[in-house]
Amino acid sequence: MYVKGVNLGNWLVLEKWMSPALFDGTTAEDEYYLPTQLSPEVYEARIKIHRSEYITERDFACIKHIGMNTVRIPVPYFVFGDRKPFIGCIEELDKAFAWAEKYDLKILIDLHTAPLSQNGFDNGGICGVCKWSQTPQEVEFVLDVLEKLAKRYGDREGLFGITPINEPITEDMWNMMNVPERYPAVDKELAMGSAPNTLEFLQDFYDRAYDRIRPNIADDKYVVFHDGFQLHAWKEFITQPRFHNVMLDTHQYLMVAEALGCKQTLNGYIEYIQENYAKQIAKVQEYVPVVCGEWCLFNSYAVGVDTKGGQTVLNGMDFSKNTSVMSADVRQHLYQQLANAQLAAWQEGRGYFYWSYKLLLDTVNEPHWFGWDSWDLGKCVDQSWFPIGG
């Protein structure tokens, strides 16, 4: 099937920028430190209320209505509730499968975080720390989690597949993002020794993850490997004859394109999408199915400020110099053209998952969030920035 999907980001794995109010009363920038600054009772109440309200059955009905057929659900390494003080979320995932099956949707389970982090990003659970791959017992822990998820959902009608780990960073992206400075660590001692993952480690981990997942899921389900930000590094590995129903996941954001020198104009974006997204995916698609697991319409041109690779006011960006005088009609045209161009690029592969389904930002009363609503697929559809049916 051709995947038309959306991510349920910030539901079971928190990202502060997507719902800042969750972090009120703390200085925490990530999920790791949130429970250290709240009482256990307040933390539990805050998390449980968030999970019960952020995504409900109604959202699955809406996702189906706007033409999607699959959802990618980021889950944390503590999904089974066995890593205190964090609160497990397996009950929510169970509900998601029931909802998906009611509305004829598929689910890609995406293990989005790892202990000590696989990337040092805020979305990896703890900022500025990237030591998971250097810690054999934590690698084994993740493999155990994957096996348990596979056994629990492997025969469910609603399962599309399982992603062993999200965005494991490798050297080029680590350097380009300047992770230690962009995501400063709270505990410098804990962060000591942080480094990108090697391709050799990832290949070994993916081999082991496949062996834990594949025997426990139905033949028609996929094991979906993230490319580690190296789309062309996987041909020899991923074409191993022993692999059955594997897929390569690549994440392509215009904010990263900007950091790589893409011109911040409509024509600049379109040219980049055609030359770098469409053509490159087509090359890889010749030997393995490719899905764009994360992308969106966000770009600095619409914001009116060079966001330096998508940095927010939370990263210390100054948006007071926003010079955007873009009318609503021009803005709509920009987003429509970027949506069409990127949707055409993903057709060179097997589909896409938009990031993300929703977020909780006030782009009207808090001007520093102007332009960030383009991450919100629901709003993009409502504003006719994104075509119903994808």
For the segment 74-94, what is each residue's pLDDT rounded down to a tens digit?
A: 999 999 999 999 999 999 999
The CA distance from 165 to 138, in Å, is 13
pLDDT band per the 50, 70, 90 thresholds, residue 321: low
Q: Is residue 272 part of a domain?
A: no
Looking at the structure, do residues 1 and 122 belong to the same domain, yes or no? yes
Q: What is the mean pLDDT of the chain?
A: 96
Given 218, 251, 284, which residue is the final one in a domain? Answer: 251
Give residue 317's pLDDT: 73
Looking at the structure, do residues 257 and 216 belong to the same domain, yes or no? no
Looking at the structure, do residues 238 and 309 belong to the same domain, yes or no? no
Domain that holds residue 318: 252-267+295-340+353-390
Give residue 316's pLDDT: 74
Q: Is residue 347 part of a domain?
A: no
Looking at the structure, do residues 263 and 369 belong to the same domain, yes or no? yes
Residue 132: which CATH number? Answer: 3.20.20.80
pLDDT band per the 50, 70, 90 thresholds, residue 323: low
Q: Tokens 């109604």: give the residue.
A: 58
Q: Is residue 198 part of a domain?
A: yes
Q: Is residue 275 part of a domain?
A: no
Looking at the structure, do residues 328 and 236 belong to the same domain, yes or no? no
Q: Confirm if 138 and 203 have CB atoms less than 8 A apart.
A: no
pLDDT band per the 50, 70, 90 thresholds, residue 370: confident
Give residue 133's pLDDT: 98
Instruction: Extract the tokens encoding 368.
Output: 């520093």
The CA distance from 85 to 78, in Å, is 10
What is the chain's percent helix, strand, coil content, to nearest 5? 45, 10, 45
Looking at the structure, do residues 238 and 259 belong to the same domain, yes or no? no
Cβ neighbours of residue 4 closer than 8 Å, sequence gap 6 or more: 67, 68, 69, 70, 351, 352, 389, 390
Q: Is residue 142 part of a domain?
A: yes
Q: Based on the structure, what is the number of domains in the chain? A: 2
Give residue 282's pLDDT: 98
Cβ neighbours of residue 159 closer than 8 Å, sequence gap 6 or more: 97, 106, 107, 109, 153, 217, 218, 221
Give residue 2's pLDDT: 98
> Nearest to residue 162, comparing CAs of 229, 232, 79, 265?
79
Give residue 324's pLDDT: 64
pTM: 0.97
**What does DSSP say about strands 351-354 and 3-7: parallel, antiparallel, or unpaired?**
parallel
DSSP count for the chain of H helices, then E strands: 15, 8
Looking at the structure, do residues 324 and 179 belong to the same domain, yes or no? no
pLDDT per residue over 205-231, tens digit each?
Answer: 999 999 999 999 999 999 999 999 999
Percent of the chain with pLDDT over 70: 98
Name the CA radius of gyration of the chain, rounded: 20
Q: Is residue 346 part of a domain?
A: no
* Cα→Cα distances 243→106, 166, 213, 316, 349, Å: 22, 20, 12, 45, 19
Looking at the structure, do residues 90 and 170 belong to the same domain, yes or no? yes
Sign of torsion, CA 115 120 125 129?
Answer: positive
Looking at the structure, do residues 217 and 302 belong to the same domain, yes or no? no
DSSP class of 127:
T
Q: Confirm if 209 and 143 have CB atoms less than 8 A apart.
A: yes
Give residue 81's pLDDT: 98
> Nearest to residue 338, comparing CAs of 286, 266, 288?
266
pLDDT per residue over 24-43, tens digit each?
Answer: 999 999 999 999 999 999 99
Looking at the structure, do residues 172 and 312 belong to the same domain, yes or no? no
Q: Confirm if 381 and 65 have CB atoms less than 8 A apart.
A: no
Looking at the structure, do residues 181 and 263 belong to the same domain, yes or no? no
Question: Is the preceding omega at residue 356 within 30 degrees of 0, hence cis?
Answer: yes
> Nearest to residue 341, comparing CAs of 258, 280, 256, 269?
269
pLDDT band per the 50, 70, 90 thresholds, residue 342: very high
Q: Is residue 289 part of a domain?
A: no
Looking at the structure, do residues 128 and 12 belong to the same domain, yes or no? yes
Give the distance from CA 18 to its chain's centroid: 12
Q: Is residue 287 part of a domain?
A: no
Mean pLDDT lowest among 64-68, 184-188, 235-239, 312-316:
312-316
Given 225, 251, 277, which residue is the final one in a domain? Answer: 251
The stretch 366-379 carries a mean pLDDT of 92
* Cα→Cα distances 342→143, 238, 294, Å: 34, 25, 12
Give residue 213's pLDDT: 98
Which parts of 239-299 fold into alpha helices (H)? 254-259, 266-272, 279-285
pLDDT per residue over 253-282, tens digit each?
Answer: 999 999 999 999 999 999 999 999 999 999
Q: Confirm if 360 and 19 have CB atoms less than 8 A apart.
A: yes
